[in-house]
Amino acid sequence: MPMTRVLVAYGSSEGQTAAVAERIGEILETEGCDATLVHLQHPPSPLEPAVYDGVVVGASVHAGSHQRYVESFVRSHRETLNRRPTAFVSVSLSAASDDAERRGTADELLDGFLEKTDWDPDGTLSVAGALKYSEYGLFTRLLMRRLGGKERGDTDTSRDYEYTDWEAVESFTREFATLVDGD
């Protein structure tokens, strides 16, 4: 039987969603799938989602929206995506919050992305990202220290902080693999 092929297409500005996509790829491989990772900022041409049995899309939130290039990928392949098993993983700092209202904002941004793109994935995951002070320029570092770091006291800008719940990423991926395999 041919291997189940899964495309993991993502956007990432400071690398955390790239790390999440890699972990998703590893788990898919251990579940017996053939995973192809594509950073949508530099997609190979042609990139044809229709040749895959399933597609996972990942994107992170900056200033209240996901990467535009991920949005246009989903828009232009919406019909293909809506016809096969798909999942959307949204990475943000709001998802890391202890405050339910802020976590709710992450869910709203995820739903907003799906509404804007008219995409109806089989599964969605809102997952916490990272504060990567080492990747930011001076102003972003100060801004993120105030907006992101203060809530948890993670204000030491000489190091990075990671909040991603890897177990949630792994179990979500395993469930998705079952869905693609059974399709």
Interface positions with ligand FMN (CB under 6 A): 12-17, 60-64, 91-94, 106, 129-130, 136, 140, 144
Longest Cα pair distance anywhere in the chain, in angstroms?
A: 54
Tell me the C-alpha distance between 39 and 29, whole Å. Answer: 18
Nearer Cβ to ligand FMN, position 89 or 180?
89
Q: Tokens representing 20?
A: 């999440």
Nearer Cβ to ligand FMN, position 33 or 40?
40
* Residue 68 exposed, middle or buried by CB count within 10 Å (0-12, 13-18, 19+): exposed
Least distance (Å) between residue 173 CB and ligand FMN: 17
Least distance (Å) between residue 93 CB and ligand FMN: 4
Nearer Cβ to ligand FMN, position 93 or 177?
93
Tell me the C-alpha distance between 7 and 87, whole Å. Answer: 11
Nearer Cβ to ligand FMN, position 81 or 91?
91
Least distance (Å) between residue 146 CB and ligand FMN: 12
Nearer Cβ to ligand FMN, position 23 or 84?
23
Tell me the three-class secondary structure of 121-144, residue by residue: CCEEEEEECEECHHHCCHHHHHHH
Question: For ligand FMN, which residue has the nearest CB?
Answer: 129
> Strand, helix or coil at 162?
strand
